[in-house]
Structure 1
Amino acid sequence: MRTKVAIIGAGPAGLLLGQLLESYGIDNVIIERQSADYVLGRIRAGLLEEGTVRLLDEVGAGSRARREGLLHDGIELAFGGARHRIDMKALTGKTVMIYGQTEVTLDLMNARKAAGLTTVYQAADVTPLDFDTDHPRVTYVKDGATHEIECDFIAGCDGFHGISRASVNPTAIETFERVYPFGWLGILSETPPVSHELIYSNHARGFALCTMRSMHRSRHYVQCSLDDHVDQWPDDRFWDELKRRIDQKAADELVTGPSIEKSIAPLRSFVAEPMRFGRMFLAGDAAHIVPPTGAKGLNLAASDAHYLATALREYYDEKSSAGIDHYSATALARVWKAVRFSWWMTSMLHKFPDTGTIGARIQLAELDYVCSSQAAMTSLAENYVGLPF
């Protein structure tokens, strides 16, 4: 098989990149080691920046998000027993949309299917080869037979544990990482949200977040130990702990119910530099991970796809390599700003085991400053709604 761009990974980064390339007339094939149902079964992020929604519109996959997504003008920070609203729309003129990553993935899958584009699911032993030459290729095994895709470029969109970054010579890549000393225990329930906007809560017992997927489906999180297991957290224990960590009004209005999904996610900050290796590019979680506190992971995948698709269009339409030569630096400039913001939000809202009482008081002072300073609120809002790309 021959194509211009072989994309490894059928998550949001790979699917969006594929649709953008198709809209620019650039042939592409996606290779995914899991099944389509498995990819759709991943419970992930649910907050989209305006730029991400705009890209979905551009590739014809945004209509359902426009109908069903929930636009939010602000967020609430809870500390000291009270909530304080950050009016993002008033501060920046922008909003965010609550729309689950699973739904984004489904919409992109359907758009790709409607366009008649090739996606190979359940491909085993996917291997990017010769990307340091002018003739890269990708091999994989399907139904017991080995297949090869010859291409001009490879896009590694296969996540943190994928083969793309792992195939790079270790001497050619530098990684930066911080693993946080706690995780997020999250549950999904068929219950109405406790508030029409997200509540981020700083509490002596640990962080909590009240969010939603729709007006009848809620997603809640509490900070937990990395040693915890979901079996240690029956629903009643989770709801009781959540009520302790949010303000009294929210606790009184919280509607509880059986969980339909429950999981513990570790938190880390991770960046790999550069994001280009010859004729292979990394995008999305293959190149960077941020803690979910700032809601940046999916949105960074979208901006990576935008930068890479634009660079490849310039290469094919204008016969210029300037875009692909600058892809890594351009993408990383936005990535590092998101890493900083996500780290800052995480540091301000979570209980850290090594900072003691002085750390907790500094957090409260920081929160009070953010909620009383126009400049500080604007800075938070600008980053939360998404820096331009």
Structure 2
Amino acid sequence: MRTKIAIIGAGPAGLLLGQLLHTCGIDNVILERHTPDYVLGRIRAGLLEGGTVALLDEVGAGERAHREGLVHEGIELAFGGERHRIDLHRPSGKTVMIYGQTEVTLDLMNARRAAGLTSIYEAEHVKPIDFDTDHPRVSYVKDGITHEMTCDFIAGCDGFHGVSRASVEPTAIATYERIYPFGWLGILSETPPVSHELIYSNHARGFALCTMRSTKRSRYYVQCPLEDHVDQWPDDRFWDELKRRLDQKAADELIIGPSIEKSIAPLRSFVAEPMRFGRMFLAGDAAHIVPPTGAKGLNLAASDAHYLAQAFREYYDEKSTAGIDAYSAKALSRVWKAVRFSWWMTSMLHQFPDTGTFGARIQLAELDYVVNSAAAAASLAENYVGLPY
């Protein structure tokens, strides 16, 4: 098989890149080791920057998001028993949209299927080959038969544990990582959200977040020890703990119900650089991970796909390598700013083992400054809605 761009991974980064390339008339094939149902079964993020929504519109996959997504113009920061609203729209002119990553993936899958593009699911033992030469290839096993795909370029969109980054010689790549000493215990419930905007709560017992997937489905999180297991958190214990970490009004208005999904996610900041290795390019979680506090993971995958699609368009339409040569630096510039913002939000809102009384007062001072300074609130808003591409 021959294609121009071999895309490894059928998550949002790979699917969006594939659709962007299709709009430019650039042939591409996606290889995915799991089934479509498995990919859709992964519960992930649910907040889209305006730039991500615009990219979905560009590839014809944004209609359902506009119909079902919830547009938000602000968030609330809770500390000291009170809530304070941060207006996102007034200083930035932008909004965010609540729309689940699973739904984004489904919309992109449907768009790809409608366009008649090739996706090979359950492709085992995928391996990028000779990507440091002018003749890259990708081998894989399908139904017990080994296949090889020749291509011009390889896009590694296969996540943190994928084969793409792992195929790079260790001496050719630098990684930067911080593992956070806690996790997020999250539940999904068929209950109306406690607030029409997200509540980020700093509390002495630990961080809490109130968000949603729709007007009838809520997503709640509490900070918990990394060694905890979901079996230690029956629903009653979760709801009791969440109420303790909210302001009184939110605790009184919280509608509880049985969880339909419950999991504990570890938090890390991770960046690999560069994001280009010869004719293979990394995008999305294959190159970087951020804690979910800043809602940047999916949105960084989208901006990577945008930069990479533009670079390939320049290569094929304008016979220029400027875009692919600049891809890594351009993407990493935006990535590191998002990593900084996510780290800052995480540091300001969570309880760390060494927080202590001094650290707790510093956090409260920082939060008080943010909610009472127009400049600080505007900075938060600018980063939260997404920096320009």
TM-score normalised over the length of structure 2: 1.00
Q: Kindly report which structure 2 residues correspond to 1:345-364, keeping only aligned pairs within 5 A, or say none.
A: 345-364=345-364
Matching residue of 1:386 = 386
Match of 1:92 in 2: 92
Provide the C-alpha distance between the structure 2 equivalents of 1:227 and 1:143, rounded to a whole number of angstroms.
Answer: 39
Tell me how far apart the structure 2 counterparts of residues 258 and 373 of structure 1 sit (CA, whole Å). Answer: 40
> For 2:66 and 2:121, how far apart are their aligned partners in 1?
28
Q: CA RMSD in A?
A: 0.3
Distance in structure 2 (CA, Å) of the matches to 1:192 and 1:236: 18
Residues 222-264 of structure 1 show CA distances to partners (whole Å, capped at 9, x for unaligned) of: 0000010000000000000000000000000000000000000
The aligned amino acid for 2:4 is K
Q: Secondary structure at the match of 1:256?
A: coil
2:330 matched to which residue of 1?
330
Give the Å deviation of 1:90.
1.2
Distance between the aligned counterparts of 1:97 and 1:149, measured in 2? 38
- Matched to 1:195, the amino acid is S
2:374 matched to which residue of 1? 374
Matches of residues 201-220 of structure 1 in structure 2 within 5 Å? 201-220=201-220
Cα offset, 1:354, TM superposition = 1.2
Aligned residue in 2 for 1:195? 195
Q: In 2, Cα distance between the equivalents of 1:307 and 1:150?
A: 23
Alpha-carbon distance between aligned partners in 1 of 2:382 and 2:149, rounded to the nearest angstrom: 42
2:223 is the alignment partner of 1:223 = yes
1:1-389 equivalences under 5 Å are 1-389=1-389
- Gapped regions of structure 2 (runs ≥ 5): none
Q: CA deviation at 1:91?
A: 1.6
* Deviation digits for residues 310-330 of structure 1 (CA, Å, limit 9, x no counterpart): 000000000000000000000
Secondary structure of 2:334's partner?
A: helix
Structure 1 position 107, deviation (Å): 0.1
> How many residues in Structure 1 have an aligned counterpart in Structure 2?
389
1:367 counterpart SS class: helix
TM-superposition CA deviations, 1:258-299 (whole Å, max 9, x none):
000000000000000000000000000000000000000000
Instruction: Report the 3-state secondary structure (helix = DSSP H, G, I; strand = E; otherwise coil) of the residue aligned with 2:256.
Output: coil
SS of structure 2 residue aligned to 1:313: helix
Residue type at the aligned position of 1:383: N
Tell me, in whole angstroms, the C-alpha distance in 1 between the residues paired with 2:286 and 2:28: 19
Give the deviation of 1:8 after TM superposition.
Answer: 0.1
Cα-to-partner distance string for 1:78-133 (whole Å, 9 max, x where unaligned): 00000000011112111000000000000000000000000000111000000000
User: 1: distance between equivalents of 2:249 and 2:91?
Assistant: 26
SS in 1 for 2:159: coil
Q: Secondary structure at the match of 2:271?
A: strand
Q: Which amino acid aligns with 2:42?
A: R
- % identity of equivalent residues: 85
| Corresponding residue SS for 1:272 | strand
Counterpart of 1:328 in 2: which secondary structure?
helix
Give, in whole Å, the separation in 2 of the partners of 1:91 and 1:222. 30
Per the alignment, in what secondary structure is the counterpart of residue 377 of structure 2?
A: helix
Counterpart-to-counterpart distance in 1, 2:88 and 2:163: 39
The amino acid that maps onto 2:142 is: K
Q: Which runs of 5+ in 1 are unaligned?
A: none
Moved more, 282-291 or 355-364: 355-364
What is the alpha-carbon distance in structure 2 between the residues aligned to residue 226 and residue 183 of structure 1?
5
- Counterpart CA distance in 1 for 2:134 and 2:177 is 32
* Per-residue CA distance 1:158-197 (angstroms, 9 max, x = gap): 0000000000000000000000000000000000000000
* 3-state secondary structure, aligned to 1:29: strand
Which residue identity lines up with residue 117 of structure 1 in the other structure?
L
> Partners in 2 of 1:256 and 1:101 — Cα distance?
24
Q: How far apart, in 2, do the equivalents of 1:66 and 1:109 lie?
A: 17
Instruction: Give the whole-Å Cα distance in 1 for the aligned partners of 2:156 and 2:183.
Output: 27
Amino acid at match of 1:143: D
Q: Distance in 1 between matches of 2:309 and 2:198?
A: 32
Q: Which amino acid aligns with 2:368?
A: D
Displacement of 1:355? 2.3
- The whole-number CA distance in structure 1 between the counterparts of 2:270 and 2:224 is 21
The one-letter code matched in structure 2 to 1:370 is V
State the one-letter code of the partner of 1:11.
Answer: G
- Provide the rounded CA distance (Å) in 1 between the counterparts of 2:144 and 2:89: 54
